[in-house]
């Protein structure tokens, strides 16, 4: 199949969602399912008033902070567990524990113990994500090619070179997987955190629209956020992935 | 440490611990030999006799043994530099040919000159921007050879680098190895199970016994280097070695 045809199929797939939405909204004619036009109008309104950028910005900021924190801590712990059997044994129980605590419990406890603060919110989201990063990065670290590490050792590559040219390229598929699943998981949890204890952000807005039964508002913010995530995927992650896998035959 | 120009090896014992159901195994015992600076020593012996283990010990990859290893070292240096040409090339697939060489050299303009010189030596300067997965098997091995020499090693370890290549390719690479080595002599420890290869390349051939034990035979190769590429004297010497039971070479080809 040609590249152009693939592109076309991709566009058709997005178009189909829009058409389906339009048809169902027209057929039901309900206030509870506004059509694309009504949602677009609401989106324009929210954008015009500056509310959209304010709340979307607040949410994106929290997503970014939680993501960086979760990736940094998760990678460090995951790689340590993958490379060192004692560390693995020591932390394995903790990992199972944190993997299975519901996100809501962590959020509530964080707010109760540390107050309704920004740090508690971001920290709670990161703690929810860290175990998943640990699991993925541990797999990656376990799969590191011993032959290449030995080569780097014999030829006395320094730590930085070894990390950058031998270790990270091998971990990059795992980093990409963590990033993808991380962004989608984190932004969902961020909304919950905002709903429960923040005065701005998409989650806060959704709660307000919910109490007003403003479904167009809810859909408008959903569309805006999905557009941002899609942009990150298309403009950031896919080109990055293409770049780091260009050596493959 | 005083500067050493000899490679001295004294391995009293090397065991692999038991793993799962397989029992502990004695791999090397009382292996002692030395090599002069710039000497090319081939190590041969039946498969499983510990040749690769010996190289890994010399390379410092395996420290779980009883004995001492003294590596040759350039005067003024604190640590010997070791080049290793592995059985598989072990190139970084996500770095280009040139980057694979540059990454084992200290940063700087000199490194670049050095990498270019070595890649020209092995005829791969034109392919410097290719990724290893796009190279032929022979080309990858040439990159590995260039990398081994690039660091200007005090000792170069080679572990059956030409096994599983077609005979002509293997022969071309041996000739290339000798060309480069004669231009920048360094102590070489070359593991092979191919006696012809050992005779063609080495100043001296060491034979390790099947059961862990001291070096079974130590044979200087008397054929002048300018006649090594000729099959007749190499083959004649090989027959002579095999016919002498004292060499314990019956199992080796």
Residue B1 binned pLDDT confidence (cut-offs 50, 70, 90): very low
List, for residues A89-116, the tens digit of each pLDDT value.
999 999 999 999 999 999 999 999 999 9
Q: Kindly provide the ipTM of the predicted complex, given to two decimals.
A: 0.88
Counts for chain B of helices (H) and strands (E), in that order: 7, 9
Whole-angstrom distance, CA of residue B62 vs CA of residue B76: 26
Q: How far is CA A110 from CA A116, B198, B205, B227, in A?
A: 8, 69, 70, 80
Whole-angstrom distance, CA of residue B46 vs CA of residue B32: 18
B81 in contact with A, Cβ within 8 Å: yes
Whole-angstrom distance, CA of residue B57 vs CA of residue B63: 6
pLDDT, residue A134, reads 96
CA of B216 vs chain A CAs: smallest distance (Å): 29
Whole-angstrom distance, CA of residue A224 vs CA of residue A202: 10
Q: Which residues of B touch A154 (CB under 8 A)?
A: 59-61, 82-84
List, for residues A20-78, the tens digit of each pLDDT value.
999 998 888 888 888 888 899 999 999 999 899 999 999 999 999 999 999 999 999 99
Whole-angstrom distance, CA of residue A17 vs CA of residue B194: 67
User: Is 70 exceeded by the pLDDT of residue B4?
Assistant: no
3-state DSSP call for residue B160? coil
User: Is 50 exceeded by the pLDDT of residue B189?
Assistant: yes
List, for residues B35-52, the tens digit of each pLDDT value.
998 999 999 988 888 899
Q: Taking CA B135 as the corner, what is the angle to CA B134 and CA B139, rounded to the nearest 5 degrees? A: 170
Q: Which residues of A touch B88 (CB under 8 A)?
A: 147
Residue B231 binned pLDDT confidence (cut-offs 50, 70, 90): confident
Residue B206 pairs in a beta bridge with B43, B218
Residue A1 binned pLDDT confidence (cut-offs 50, 70, 90): low
List, for residues A148-184, the tens digit of each pLDDT value.
999 999 999 999 999 999 999 999 999 999 998 888 8
Q: Which residues of A touch B90 (CB under 8 A)?
A: 147-148, 150-151
User: Quick one: CA torsion of A20, A23, A25, A26, rounded to 10 degrees?
Assistant: 170
For testing contact with chain A, the best of B92, B100, B106, B127 (most A CBs within 10 A): B92
A157 in contact with B, Cβ within 8 Å: yes
Instruction: Report the predicted TM-score, pTM, of the whole model to 2 decimal places.
Output: 0.81
Whole-angstrom distance, CA of residue B157 vs CA of residue B164: 19
- Describe the strand order of the beta sheet including B7-16 as a list of residue ranges: B25-35, B7-16, B66-70
Strands B204-207 and B40-44: parallel
The per-residue pLDDT of chain A, averaged, comes to 91
Q: How far is CA B33 from CA A94, B2, B11, B25, B73, in A?
A: 52, 20, 9, 22, 17
CA of B160 vs chain A CAs: smallest distance (Å): 15
Q: Which residues of B touch A147 (CB under 8 A)?
A: 86, 88, 90
For testing contact with chain B, the best of A148, A153, A155 (most B CBs within 10 A): A155
Residue B251 binned pLDDT confidence (cut-offs 50, 70, 90): low
Q: Are A212 and A205 in contact (CB under 8 A)?
A: no
A154 in contact with B, Cβ within 8 Å: yes
Cβ within 8 Å, pair B133-A166: no
B86 in contact with A, Cβ within 8 Å: yes
């Amino acid at each position: 199949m040609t590249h152009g045809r693939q592109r076309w199929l991709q566009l058709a797939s997005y178009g189909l969602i829009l058409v389906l939405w339009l048809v169902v909204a027209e057929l039901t004619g309900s206030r509870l399912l506004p059509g694309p036009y009504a949602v677009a109008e609401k989106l324009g309104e929210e954008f015009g008033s500056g509310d959209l950028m304010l709340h979307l910005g607040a949410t994106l900021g929290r997503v970014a902070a939680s993501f960086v924190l979760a990736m940094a801590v998760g990678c460090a712990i995951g790689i340590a567990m993958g490379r060192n059997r004692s560390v693995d044994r020591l932390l394995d129980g903790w990992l199972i524990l944190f993997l299975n605590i519901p996100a809501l419990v962590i959020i509530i406890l964080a707010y109760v113990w540390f107050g309704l603060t920004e740090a508690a919110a971001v920290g709670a989201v990161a703690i929810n994500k860290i175990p998943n990063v640990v699991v993925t990065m541990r797999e990656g670290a376990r799969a590191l090619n011993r032959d290449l590490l030995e080569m780097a050792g014999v030829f006395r590559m320094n730590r930085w070179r070894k990390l950058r040219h031998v270790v990270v390229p091998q971990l990059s598929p795992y980093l990409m997987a963590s990033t993808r699943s991380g962004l989608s998981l984190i932004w969902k949890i961020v909304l919950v955190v905002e709903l429960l204890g923040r005065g701005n952000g998409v989650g806060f807005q959704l709660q307000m629209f919910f109490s007003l039964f403003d479904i167009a508002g809810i859909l408008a913010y959903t569309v805006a956020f999905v557009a941002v995530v899609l942009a990150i995927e298309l403009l950031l992650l896919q080109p990055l992935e293409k770049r780091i896998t260009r050596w493959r035959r | 440490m005083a500067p050493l120009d000899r490679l001295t090896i004294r391995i009293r014992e090397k065991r692999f611990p038991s793993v799962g159901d397989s029992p502990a195994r004695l791999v090397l015992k009382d292996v002692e030999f030395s090599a002069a600076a710039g000497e090319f020593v081939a190590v041969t012996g039946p498969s499983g006799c510990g040749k690769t283990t010996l190289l890994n010990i010399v390379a410092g990859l395996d420290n779980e043994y009883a004995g001492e290893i003294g590596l040759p070292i350039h005067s003024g240096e604190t640590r010997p530099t070791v080049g290793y040409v592995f059985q598989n090339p072990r190139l970084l697939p996500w770095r280009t040919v040139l980057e694979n060489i540059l990454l084992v050299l200290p940063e700087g303009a000199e490194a670049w000159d050095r990498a270019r010189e070595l890649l020209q030596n092995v005829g791969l300067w034109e392919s410097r921007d290719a990724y290893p997965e796009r190279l032929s098997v022979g080309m990858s091995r040439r990159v590995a050879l260039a990398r081994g020499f690039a660091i200007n090693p005090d000792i170069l370890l080679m572990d059956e680098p030409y096994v599983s290549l077609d005979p002509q390719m293997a022969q071309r690479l041996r000739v290339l190895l000798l060309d480069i080595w004669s231009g920048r002599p360094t102590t070489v420890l070359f593991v092979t199970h191919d006696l012809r290869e050992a005779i063609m390349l080495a100043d001296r051939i060491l034979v390790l016994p099947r059961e862990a034990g001291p070096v079974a035979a130590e044979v200087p190769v008397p054929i002048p280097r300018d006649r090594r590429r000729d099959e007749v004297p190499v083959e004649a010497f090989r027959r002579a070695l095999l016919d002498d039971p004292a060499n314990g070479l019956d199992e080796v080809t």
